[in-house]
Structure 1
Amino acid sequence: MKIVDVNLFPFSAKRVYSTVTAALGGVAHKEGGYAFSDFAIIELTSDTGIKGYGEVSDIPETMTMPNGQNFTIEHLETYLANQLIGKDPFQIEELLQAYPEKNMVDIRPDGSMLDIVSCGVDNALLDLIGKTLNVPVYNLFGGKKKDKIWVSWVVYIRDIKYLEAEIAEKVKEGFDAFKLKVGIDPKQDEERLRILRETAGEKAVIKLDANSGWTFDEAVENLKRLEKYNPAGIETPIPFLDVEGKAKLKGRIGMPILEHVHTLEFALELLKHDAVDVFNISAAQAGGVFKARKILALAESAGKPCLLGSTVECGLGTASQLHLSAGSSLVTWPSDLIGPKMYVNDMLNAPHAWDQNRLLVPDGAGFGVEVDPQYLQKGI
């Protein structure tokens, strides 16, 4: 089987509210936050006429092409066509060796990275392979161990007057796990955590995420002050790349440390220093399901519990994450797959199914979802 055609389609999704997170130095990642996210839908067609789809998620304004020219959907389409047309999609590992391409990754101020183009290619290849074999993607990796994935609602940094209503609404929907973004204003962080705990109840699982916003000393001080609200853990409390600092921090605070793990090399570094308690793994960061599964396997060999992180994917990206999680016994922490509820619009012809705050793993060939045909047209 060969790939005979590559098409890309732009898609823009509106968030239910503008989302703000902290960044290195305790400042906002983007002033005013993000109200929209831009995506690209990758369509691969085989010589048998079967089509596979992948999502390039949450494309940053800073992305450029490998030759330095400005990023456009048309330029990326040409680039991927040159790489993929004539190739066998079953040679997925060889095809993914072209990534990460340094100009086409989303590199954050703290050094964390999202390899979103590789992830989109990975998704389209796996969807094409699954549809060709008429099996779900999770069956390509040993089968499904769970039908539903536990999701934590992510509470972004916004005016505190909106918080209680947001949490009350999610509790009514059945959410019993939350991730609270912190790291800019310590006093506001504490007040927001207090409201979250009171509104969600004592049994709710609450993760904190400082997004590299604190120094070591600030992390110690802030987390000791917040302990009384019984948070389940803290994600990226200090700069992402400070592995030794997190190892020292483990002995100074009374809660687990969670960290994004985007490569096997970084995973080994964290394990070598015993720096974190929980791995946060996502397809978008790792460069796709195929690469993320290798990190999950390493975590399993070390007995390290995991959750699935997110760059707030739309429907296709969320489906790939669900198939990634379905086959792992160590994804035991609530994951951050809120895209289906964070966007006003989506690219799928049918929404993802929920059971309260559990996302159902879609069955069917490939990733088990279909793109709405109205978004697969040039020039819209």
Structure 2
Amino acid sequence: MNARLRRIVISAMALSLAVPLAACGEEKHDAGLGKDTIGLLLPEDKADRYEKFDHRIISRRVATLCLECELDYRNAKASVDTQKMQFEGLVKKGVKVIILDPVDAQAAGSWVDAAAKKGVKVIAYDRLAEGNVKAYVSYDNENVGRLQGQGIAAALGSQAATADVVMMNGSPTDPNAPSFKKGAHAVLDRKVNKIVSENDIPDWSPAEARKKMTEVINAIGVDGFDAVYSANDGMAGGIAEALKSAGIKNVPLGGQDAENAALQRIIKGTQSFTIYKEVRPEAETAAEIAFRLLRGKSIASLTSTTADSNSKADIPAKLFDAEIVTRKNLKDTVVLDGVVRTDLLCTKDLAAACKSIGLE
């Protein structure tokens, strides 16, 4: 092929590529206006899971399902006002499907209703927002609480029937917290002697949990309780610090979320268990529901049950099951599933403890 002919061929190829490239550019511009955009609003960054797992998994799944789609992600950092502005910003942009994990489920109700009137479809993710949501994806939260109660009872063993337990519940603005509490009480009220102290911790704050635990220790003494229920792992970290500061050892402590720090405490023996809620199926299901709603398709095959909020009944829902993780099954659950890498979990100071449970 001579040089002139080669230039003609190359020019023709360039022109043929220019049309789809221009089309792609137009689609991206439309996506910026909300046409092919899915909004994702997560509540806070204190818990490891949101940035490390939920955001990444949802983003990847959306990209797999829809090459032309764009995910507009924001984190409210535990601020209701910030999340309200983020939500209203997405609606103003023209986004028609939003995955919402609310900081305050009650407060979100008015935003959701206002958006629904404009044709915006909201998927309540992990926490059930009030208002006219189109779908709900989470775990069976009452059952999670029951698993937590069972974990405390199992850790107490034969002493459970005479044991006094301290309860540190989740944030009062989180609709999941009452479900965890209800499920835990359903077990603990039957299995242990009594609940000697109970507190709700605003924003799931580890610092506040540590402060409250210190106050409980000062009020009832180091021998005034036999176990501590913590609604999640972040708070369990604060509670563990309070117990250590008071010189209290070998008191069963449970959490939830299978965070790396909690798993290390389980290996070390300063936390008895956590609840493992595999994020991937929850996140991928939310992404697929969002895509189907964006395209006007049925979500019936993805929502096997229904859920009721205070403002709406029979919301199409998918609720997943969780499981208890202890030193005995840590290797065969979170490690096997790839939630945590052994080399990051088993730091030098935990080498011997890791080896004792088959983690090397």
TM-score of the alignment, normalized to the shorter chain, above 0.5 = no
More helix by share: 2
More strand by share: 1
TM-score normalised by the chain length of structure 2: 0.28
Bigger radius of gyration among the two: 2
Structure with more contact order per residue of length (Cα contacts < 8 Å, sep ≥ 6): 1
